[in-house]
Amino acid sequence: MTGQRCATSPEHADRYAEERTFLGAIAEALAALGALHAEIRQPYGMGTPFLHVVGDRSTGHGEDVRLRRVADDGSLRAVWQWGEDLPLDPRQAAAAIRRVVAPEM
């Protein structure tokens, strides 16, 4: 089979592995806080994955956390749907997300 590429060749490496790892760290921090459900989603053909977070209560609150690349150094940043950056530390980002998705009243 010379000349053919298989799914494990470098050309087919997971293009969004870094993004999923970044979002996975936030999802793990959210799981540690409890009372939230977080899922990494990547609709077919839509490009960059995002984190969908909803509260366990029937409040109807939910948020999608998206990613952006920093122009200066190419690093990733998690951002709210409205474009504002979340904290860099996954635990701090998770705490901020929880305050919005599952506010204590």
Confidence of residue 104 (pLDDT cuts 50, 70, 90): confident
**Spatial separation of the C-alpha atoms in residues 6 and 87, rounded to whole Å:** 39
Distance CA 27, CA 8 (A): 27
pLDDT digits 0-9 by tens, 20-51: 999 999 999 999 998 789 999 998 777 889 99
pLDDT of residue 1: 43
Q: Is the pLDDT of residue 72 over 70?
A: yes
Query: Domains in the chain, please, with CATH?
Result: 12-101 (3.30.310)
Give the helix/strand (H/E) hosting 63. strand 62-69
d(CA 50, CA 55): 17
- Is 105:61 a contact under the CB 8 Å cutoff? no
pLDDT of 56 > 50? The answer is yes
For residue 71, give both structure tokens: 């122009």
Residue 28 pLDDT: 96
